[in-house]
Structure 1
Amino acid sequence: MNSRTSQASAPKHSRRAFAIQASSIALSLLLGGCSYSDLKPQSHLQPAGDASDTLAQSGITLSPAAWPAETWWTTFNDKQLDSLVDEALAQSPTLRSAAARVRQAGALEAIEGASLLPRVDATASTTRERFSANGTTPAPVKGTWQNVDQATLNVGYELDFWGKNRAAVEAAVGRRHAVQVDSRAAALMLSASVVQTYIALQDTYDQLDVAQALLDQQVHIEKLTQQRFSAELGTQIDIKQSQASLPASRANIAALKEMIELNQNKLASLLGQGPDRGRTIARPHLRASNDVVLPSNIPAELVGHRPDVVAQRWRVEASGHEIEVAKARFYPNVNLTAFVGLQSLAFDTFNDHSSRILGFSPAISLPIFEGGRLRGNLDAQDAAYDLAVENYNQTVVDALRDIADQLSSLRWLKERLAQQKEAVDTAQAASDLVNLRYGAGLATYLQVLSTQNATLIQKRQLVTLQSRALSLQANLSRALGGGYRPEFSANAPVLPTVVDQS
């Protein structure tokens, strides 16, 4: 074969090799896409159910702009409570832990974001090496000890043709947003716990007032019984019965004082402080609002006002991007690497122009047989997406049930309070009448004791219902999101295989 023929055949050989390589890549792409076409998520995001009937039957005023304020606890008009919640939000270890998780999620997002940028590093080394006398190293170096000095600047970059790295970054963004919203949810739960414990503290103080009033009345009756006995209108049995009720009432007062201290300890713990802080908390003076107003579009906007719902929505978003990462692993990885530097066997010639080294290395990695690892990974990500979707759906259902529970309780509480006030007035009137008759010698002590117990029971129940009114007001604000307003919006994943599952 002459030289002209050889020169003509070289380009043909190059074109043939390029065509084979291109065909291999195209076949790899085709096989990669076909190898997971049967894998897809199975769950769907469900819209929030309608609540128009529940809102209409609640008997509460509706307003399009009645979502709670961020400082919803200030509606109780108690300055001490306001300062306690502010202290808890500033000092609680729970919230500091949540802030640390946010910083951690931000750092992981930065790590993922680094994959979108080139990697540049520098290396320098000096090696004392003996070269083989029978190797490829030519004379006069072979068979001798030499110092090999080398310094290079290295550059690497992955061409993200299939969007794997971009999807990984978006997934990290979604996880960071979820953790950020989780921290808001933690703040809401903490403030709600402080408010509920504060309400319980006030309830215990009110119960103590009832118990103390009963004890005072019993002391009065005991003196009256002594007077009746002196006037020969009563018996020694009446005196013993009147005296027997006093220790039981004093024991109940002691139990209530214990409960006050326990609630103060709990508040101190919620503030992130020791029990001494609780002893400085004075008696609460909460007032329930007479007018409770509800937003008229709860189902439509609940997903943006409840931090737990928003956080779950971001997890769905992140899981959708994780699916794209898993799909991109079926396709080739294309990496570019290059280096430039100096290499010399003698340090005195290290900076010479002739010591330059330079290299450029494009690399393609084609997944051919992974033993089902890639399919298993994608199937796992699909399952993780389904799990995130169902967790979101369940969170929405639970949120609506939470609101419905508060509305049902508020709806019937007004009637219960009215009836209970009437029961207290009736019991008190009966007790007063029996006390007058007893002082006049027309009633027995057993009648006095019976009416006292009936009045005590009714007054305790009234105090409990009044405390429940405060608790329901706080629970409703919490159930409506506690004034949360999202700083960013989680959009539905735009990935066809995630949204379109027909």
Structure 2
Amino acid sequence: MTRLTSLAALVPLLLAGCASVPKVAPQLAPVRAEALGLSGRTAAIDPRWWTAFGDPQLDSLIDQALAGNPNLEEALARVRIAEAQVEGQGAALRPQINGSGQISRAHIADRLLPPPIGGSTANLGLAYANFGWDLDLFGRQHAAIRQAAASAEAARLDADATRLTLSVSIARTYVGLARAERQIEVAQAFVKTRQDALRFIQSRRRNQLASDFNLRQAETLVAEAEQAQTRAVEQRDLLVHALAALTGRGADAYAQIRRPTLSLDTVPGVPADLPADLLGRRPDLLAGRARIAAAEQGRAEAKAAFLPDVSLSALAGLTAVGLSHFFTAGAGTWSGGAAVSLPIFQGGRLRANYRGATADLDRAIASYDDAVLGAVREAADALTAVGAGDADLAQQARVVHGLRETVRLDQVRTRTGLGSQLDAIDSGFRLLEAEQTLVDLQAETLTRRIQLIAALGGGFDPQGPRAAARATDPRS
């Protein structure tokens, strides 16, 4: 009973001897979804959203990239580093046992021990095991572990954000490749049509029905069409190189990337408004939340540093003068006890650390709030771009339809002698230009949808990284 009374009296003395915690509170708070005008709907996007394009080669390229892109490998390496830090912090809560042994030859002073040991030279043997256990009564080590676990979760979410960015980059590049292939076809049709026009002008020039100016103009138009074809081929090759690099491969993959089979006319479905779960489905925003949690635990750790640190320690081993006595009963030795560390006066270091940890929490919150506002604007801009692009594409489709009808009628008039071949050629030029624009708008429509999918977090499952975090958390 006396021991319990003494321990109860010791606790307030320990707390009284600690440095006082400064009254410093965070100045910011994370923005709430309710204040952002999000709808009550959710974003239903398939985890493998790119399969909606119906192109097996695109599926294969994204799978390859997610398995071997250097940027993704770097992000995954950061995850492994963070997980190792969690494990290292968790070790501080467990008992520690260390062993040591030593054999030496020494001369023993006769003033230290009486003869015959004193004044002699003998072998000294020492072997012991040391036990230590930080009890962490006030949670400083637990806060450090929770901070490391939150940082590890942020790293995992960063890796998921990298996966999303990578899949989006490949899909956009692949759509660009499909556009380049279609533009090559249009450019080839341009070249053929303008070559036909040049031959017609040359015939008229021989019959004195056209001037040298008309001839030079027709030759220039042929050169422009051939230049457009050359540029389209160059763009196609550059996009092939980009796709190979995104999948983590080099020149050996160029010949293996074939013409896309996806249709520029087919567009994947996307939400019609900003979903309510926008903040909970973007991995970059969830990573920001995890960093806020890490900063909160860092602040808790800095606060716990003002409180005592209590640990247990014990030592057991053998020591003897002369190795022949080393394994005898008299060579055994042991000790044990408790140690208390009191932060009585630290020259302001603990207060500075606590203020810094509080400021770090404000910094994490400010960074998260900025990312949230940027994400909402990005998603809203993407929605607007999708709507405007769809309207623009519909108008261009009507233009192309009208020009195709014009070309058909001009061809009928030419065959019946009611129109000239120059009129038919001119309307053909305008149709090809309109079809070029149509291809660009079709590709842009797909690209804008891909951008919206990215802004909404793609098919990311927010529960996956959190489940993984709980599985590796030493507290679970």
Structure 1 match to 2:69 = 92
- Which secondary structure state, in structure 2, belongs to the residue aligned with residue 234 of structure 1? coil
CA distance in 2 between counterparts of 1:51 and 1:174 reads: 26
User: Could you tell me whether the CA contact under 8 Å between 2:270 and 2:453 is conserved in 1?
Assistant: no
- Which secondary structure state, in structure 1, belongs to the residue aligned with residue 464 of structure 2? coil
The 5-angstrom pairing of residues 296-335 of structure 1 reads 298-299=275-276, 301-335=277-311
CA distance in 2 between counterparts of 1:121 and 1:159 reads: 18
Over residues 223-261 of structure 1, what are the superposed CA-to-partner deviations in whole Å (9 max), with x where a residue is unaligned? Answer: 222332344432343223222221221122111111111
| Consecutive unaligned residues in structure 2, runs of 5 or more | 468-476
CA distance in 2 between counterparts of 1:297 and 1:203 reads: 29
User: Could you tell me whether the CA contact under 8 Å between 1:421 and 1:462 is conserved in 2?
Assistant: yes
Over residues 439-480 of structure 1, what are the superposed CA-to-partner deviations in whole Å (9 max), with x where a residue is unaligned? Answer: 9797797x8887666545433222111001111221122222
Structure 1 match to 2:470 = none
Report the CA distance between 1:19 and its aligned residue: 9.4
- Which secondary structure state, in structure 2, belongs to the residue aligned with residue 155 of structure 1? strand
| Mapped pair 1:280 → 2:269 | no
User: Could you tell me whether the CA contact under 8 Å between 2:45 and 2:270 is conserved in 1?
Assistant: no
The letter of the residue matching 1:389 is I
Structure 2 match to 1:8 = none
The 5-angstrom pairing of residues 126-141 of structure 1 reads 126-134=103-111, 136-141=112-117
CA distance in 2 between counterparts of 1:282 and 1:444 reads: 39
Structure 1 match to 2:168 = 192
- Which secondary structure state, in structure 1, belongs to the residue aligned with residue 339 of structure 2? strand
The letter of the residue matching 2:211 is T
Report the CA distance between 1:398 and its aligned residue: 1.6
1:36 equivalent among 16, 21, 43: 21
2:16 equivalent among 18, 22, 27: 27
Report the CA distance between 1:286 and its aligned residue: 2.0
> Cα 1:101–1:291, aligned 2, differ >3 Å: closer, same or farther?
closer
CA distance in 2 between counterparts of 1:465 and 1:163 reads: 60
Over residues 176-225 of structure 1, what are the superposed CA-to-partner deviations in whole Å (9 max), with x where a residue is unaligned? Answer: 11111111111111111110100111111122222211111111111222
CA RMSD of aligned residues (A): 3.0
| Mapped pair 1:257 → 2:233 | yes
* TM-score (ref. length: structure 1): 0.84
The 5-angstrom pairing of residues 105-254 of structure 1 reads 105-134=82-111, 136-254=112-230
Report the CA distance between 1:434 and its aligned residue: 7.2
2:31 equivalent among 23, 46, 53: 46
| Mapped pair 1:72 → 2:61 | no
CA distance in 2 between counterparts of 1:242 and 1:49 reads: 63
User: Could you tell me whether the CA contact under 8 Å between 1:417 and 1:465 is conserved in 2?
Assistant: yes
User: Could you tell me whether the CA contact under 8 Å between 1:63 and 1:293 is conserved in 2?
Assistant: no
CA distance in 2 between counterparts of 1:101 and 1:272 reads: 19
| Mapped pair 1:480 → 2:456 | yes
User: Could you tell me whether the CA contact under 8 Å between 1:261 and 1:279 is conserved in 2?
Assistant: no
> Cα 1:49–1:223, aligned 2, differ >3 Å: closer, same or farther?
farther
* TM-score (ref. length: structure 2): 0.88
1:366 equivalent among 336, 342, 357: 342
- Which secondary structure state, in structure 2, belongs to the residue aligned with residue 294 of structure 1? coil
| Mapped pair 1:345 → 2:334 | no
Report the CA distance between 1:431 and its aligned residue: 6.3
CA distance in 2 between counterparts of 1:23 and 1:115 reads: 26
Report the CA distance between 1:80 and its aligned residue: 0.9
The letter of the residue matching 2:15 is A
User: Could you tell me whether the CA contact under 8 Å between 2:93 and 2:141 is conserved in 1?
Assistant: yes
Report the CA distance between 1:103 and its aligned residue: 1.5
CA distance in 1 between counterparts of 2:206 and 2:188 reads: 27
Identity %: 30
